[in-house]
Structure 1
Amino acid sequence: MSDKTTSSGNDRRSSWLTAGGILGAVLASSCCILPLMLISAGVSGAWIGQLTVLEPYKPAFMLIAAGFLAAGFWEVYFRKGRHCEDGSYCARPASSRIKQIALWGGAFIVVAALTIDTWAPLFY
């Protein structure tokens, strides 16, 4: 397998981990933060109240999100670079910056969902 094929596979894996972390963060916040954000943005409707039925699944969503985020952070920040043909380390692609921003955004959402009981009363 060539370096280009391996690099493409690693980029694809880190992209999937990043997307999984973001999706997990949205699911983890779907019972609490998502309705608050929608109402703050002016979106309303009876269906927003139905998002609270996801509250019992919040711990599972948090674990899934934390797992994807941890794997994504490890993939983006801590994975050892591969040696290229000339013996030096291969450069990271420019999309790594986008993945970093997405991972930090997902981590922020998860932390906000975990601590919502502390800061949500400030908005009432």
Structure 2
Amino acid sequence: MIGPSPVSNPTTSRTGLSFALGGLSAGLLASACCILPLAFALAGISGAWIARLTALAPYQPYFLTLAAVSIALGYWRYRRSEAAACLPGSLCASPVYRNSTRWILLAASLIAASAAAVDVYGQLNL
């Protein structure tokens, strides 16, 4: 047989989405100290609990690292499953699955990059 073998295992075809959701979660946690309170305030959501989100600031580098690793692995799995032939009717062949994975990875990348940029900008202007 010439070329890659078809992907038929549903757990291997879901790993790209799992990494994408992991990157999105870690990106949101990384932005919890700085960007998330501002986003809540702009959305009209307020409360005393928002001030407690700054307690996550010491953990931001760990969350950013976790987000970067998850996003990189998600992109790798996304591109790898794109190059591999999928069985018709399998999860990796679904355009909805592929588009949602791509958009989640893009959103996670933007959130993690903005959290890192705010952190770097804040250190430069001290």
| Bucket of the pairwise TM-score, normalised by the shorter protein | 0.7 to 0.9
User: Is 2:7–2:84's contact at 8 Å kept on the other side of the alignment?
Assistant: no
Structure 1 position 92 matched with structure 2 position 93: yes
> What is the CA-CA distance between 1:4 and the residue it aligns to?
6.5
In structure 2, do the counterparts of structure 1 residues 53 and 38 end up closer, same or farther at CA, with 3 Å as the change threshold? same
Sequence identity, in percent?
A: 32
Name the CA distance, whole Å, in 1 between partners of 2:66 and 2:86.
32
CA deviations on 1:40-92 (whole Å, 9 max, x unpaired) are: 111111110100010000000000000100000111124540476xxxxxx73
Report 1:24-103 matches (<5 A).
24-79=26-81, 80-82=83-85, 92-94=93-95, 95-103=97-105
TM-score by length of 2: 0.78
- The residue number in structure 1 matching 2:16 is 14
> What is the CA-CA distance between 1:15 and the residue it aligns to?
1.8
User: Is 2:71–2:109's contact at 8 Å kept on the other side of the alignment?
Assistant: yes
Give the RMSD, CA atoms, in angstroms: 2.3
| Structure showing greater relative contact order (alpha-carbon pairs closer than 8 Å, 6 or more residues apart) | 2
User: Is 2:32–2:56's contact at 8 Å kept on the other side of the alignment?
Assistant: yes
TM-score by length of 1: 0.79
> What is the CA-CA distance between 1:116 and the residue it aligns to?
1.4
* Runs of 4+ residues deviating >6 angstroms: none
How many pairs are equivalent? Answer: 111
* Structure 1: unaligned runs, 5 residues or longer: 85-90, 120-124
* Structure 2: unaligned runs, 5 residues or longer: 1-5
Letter in 1 for 2:71: L
